[in-house]
Amino acid sequence: MNSLLIVGTGLIGASTGLALKAAGFSGRITGFDLSAAELLIAHESGAIDEVVSTREAATEAARRSDVVLLAVPVFAILDWMTILAPVLKPGQLVTDTGSTKVQIADVARRLFPGVAGPRFLPGHPMAGKESGGAAIAEAGLYQGAVWIFTPVDAESTAEETAWREWMSAIGTKVMDLEPARHDQLLAWVSHLPQMVSTALSALLEDTFGDDPDLRAIGGRALREMTRLGSSPYSMWRDVAMTNTAPLANSLLALEQRLQHLREHLRTPELREEFQRANKFREPR
Amino acid sequence: MNSLLIVGTGLIGASTGLALKAAGFSGRITGFDLSAAELLIAHESGAIDEVVSTREAATEAARRSDVVLLAVPVFAILDWMTILAPVLKPGQLVTDTGSTKVQIADVARRLFPGVAGPRFLPGHPMAGKESGGAAIAEAGLYQGAVWIFTPVDAESTAEETAWREWMSAIGTKVMDLEPARHDQLLAWVSHLPQMVSTALSALLEDTFGDDPDLRAIGGRALREMTRLGSSPYSMWRDVAMTNTAPLANSLLALEQRLQHLREHLRTPELREEFQRANKFREPR
């Protein structure tokens, strides 16, 4: 890999650029973002070497790049797949960082069907923050994190192997999953926590508004439970739209569990629930 | 205050002893705990100067102490109030660290009724960890935390004023609340987060058990949301039993909010919920 185009130079895209540089990547990194401000910050931080500022210029830059990384919300990834599939050539690789993988893998199978054309490797780094933006990008964001791939092709090309190796080089643990299993697991470990945090934050806003006592008293438990309440709708809309059924199932299961616990606040069943929870938290 | 008895030398009691010593308290601190191990650790760490190892000896030690701190679960606090009220004298102060305050304040009004006898000042430090024990006690546990009092008497005695000043000296922000308002607010900022974390942890235990993928993928969001799943039933049983209605109300409200969100994963109402949540998280 000698040249990389990063589409979306926010927290995830810019951190990938910074991490690659820190790991010794000496090729050229071009960046594109719909926001001129994000693009400028990513350029000034050194996450990208050069900028392109229109979709057309980004498409041209993609033609000249060994690898294109789509680090934008899921629907924008799907749009870029449609734009890039007809204009790229065999030997080029497109990969992404999208939060859900079933729809992206389906489109990849259709638009990037094997050896005769460019390849698509769906990916998803398990790292992030409750807010976004190139200004809070870090070279170390992925240190120790898992970078999941949900490959649609049985065999890796040289470009795919190179990209996987770079993701290891920046400190991630690379892991392969089936797209449907990815979306199922993520519904539980990421999407459900997000929705609980959003629901609790919105409920507290409606119930307490500016009440200073609530904020004075609230400690670590409240901070942790509502931290993701800061997350932007723009990203999570795409997650909710592309992983609706698994997310709805996990939400319903938690609602039922909370109801069960509420109905047993004064019975020995509460102890059973605490014991199951304690067991989940034990080291395995 | 020249002498203090700490009943319950776990995380909260031992940390209070350590914090007082670090803040310059030079009086004698006696400790009692049903667990000989906890008592030994607290003694060896210097949180307490001497130990008493039976309830009878603790009651005798209480007679000789200016202040008695009850740092045990709520029902044990209520038991100790019943034991101590008849044997203490005017000028002596009993205070506590219990997680709920309505029942304790009610019992205090009945058993410690004013100037003719010993006084009771209900208290609750907003600090702790998901697990307990003297081994993880820290002199700095209360730095920057709020220490709530729900006084049952209109005027402070000299001992109450001294105790409040020591709680400031160890780094806490002292705050007074009505007992009912305390329990209402705590239902939201502490008891609800605990029950959500317990319910989610127990649900994940049942759904995934030992599945290594779940644990490999789970990041900060999962860790934060399930951290309190480690909390012991022994303490939370008393909270659930003594704050049942406020906690049940907050649980029901969250269940309804999660249901609402689940039914609107694909509608613009999801944006409204994210905006309300974002607003809650904005600095005020």
Q: What are phi and psi of A225, to 5 degrees?
A: -70, -25
Q: Could you tell me which residues come within 8 angstroms of residue A130 by beta carbon, excluding any fewer than 6 positions away?
A: A227, A228, A229, A230, A231
Which residues in chain B are contacts of A126 at CB distance < 8 A? 217, 219
Task: Give the pLDDT score at A131.
Answer: 82
Per 3-state DSSP, chain B is made up of helix, strand and coil in percentages (nearest 5) of 55, 10, 35
For A191, which residue in chain B has the nearest alpha carbon?
Answer: B221
Q: Which residues of chain A have pLDDT under 70?
A: none
B3-177 and B181-281, same CATH topology: no
Report the pLDDT averaged over residues B133-159. Answer: 94
For A127, which residue in chain B has the nearest alpha carbon?
Answer: B219
Distance of alpha carbon B12 from alpha carbon B167, whole angstroms:
13
Q: Token pair for residue A97?
A: 């960082």
Q: Token pair for residue A120?
A: 């698509």
Distance of alpha carbon B277 from alpha carbon B280, whole angstroms:
5
Q: Sort A90 into a burial class: Cβ within 10 Å, 0-12 / 13-18 / 19+.
A: exposed
At the fourth CATH level, which superfamily is domain B3-177?
Answer: NAD(P)-binding Rossmann-like Domain (3.40.50.720)
Q: Cα angle at A68 between A102 and A191, to 5 degrees?
A: 35
Asked whether the beta carbons of residue B195 and residue A261 sit closer than 8 angstroms, the reply is yes
Neighbours of B90 (CB within 10 A): 11
CB proximity B174 to A under 8 Å: no
Least trusted range by pLDDT, from B13-27, B119-133, B194-208, B250-264:
B119-133
Task: Give the pLDDT score at B130.
Answer: 78
Q: Architecture of domain A181-281 in CATH?
A: Orthogonal Bundle (1.10)
Distance of alpha carbon A83 from alpha carbon A61, whole angstroms:
13
Distance of alpha carbon A12 from alpha carbon B49, whole angstroms:
54
pLDDT exceeds 90 at position B118: yes
Q: Could you tell me which residues come within 8 angstroms of residue A209 by beta carbon, excluding any fewer than 6 positions away?
A: none
ipTM above 0.90, yes or no: yes
Which residues in chain A are contacts of B228 at CB distance < 8 A? 221
Residue showing tokens 């508004």: A209
CA distances from B88 to A122, B48, B61 (A): 71, 21, 11
CB proximity A228 to B under 8 Å: yes
- Residue-wise pLDDT for B33-84, tens only, equals 999 999 999 999 999 999 999 999 999 999 999 999 999 999 999 999 999 9
Task: Give the A window 188-207 contacts with B, CB below 8 Å.
Answer: 188-190, 192-207
- Average pLDDT, whole number, for chain B? 96
pLDDT exceeds 80 at position B115: no
CB proximity B110 to A under 8 Å: no
H-assigned helices in chain A: 11-22, 36-45, 55-63, 74-84, 102-111, 158-169, 179-186, 192-208, 212-217, 220-226, 233-242, 244-263, 269-281
Task: Give the pLDDT score at B114.
Answer: 76
CB proximity B168 to A under 8 Å: no
Q: Which of B201, B237, B266 sits opposite A277 (nearest CB)?
A: B201
Residue showing tokens 């609750």: B124
Task: Give the pLDDT score at A189.
Answer: 96
- For chain B, what are the domain ranges? 3-177, 181-281
CA distances from A243 to A150, A179, A185, B271 (A): 15, 11, 11, 16
For B214, which residue in chain A has the nearest alpha carbon?
Answer: A185
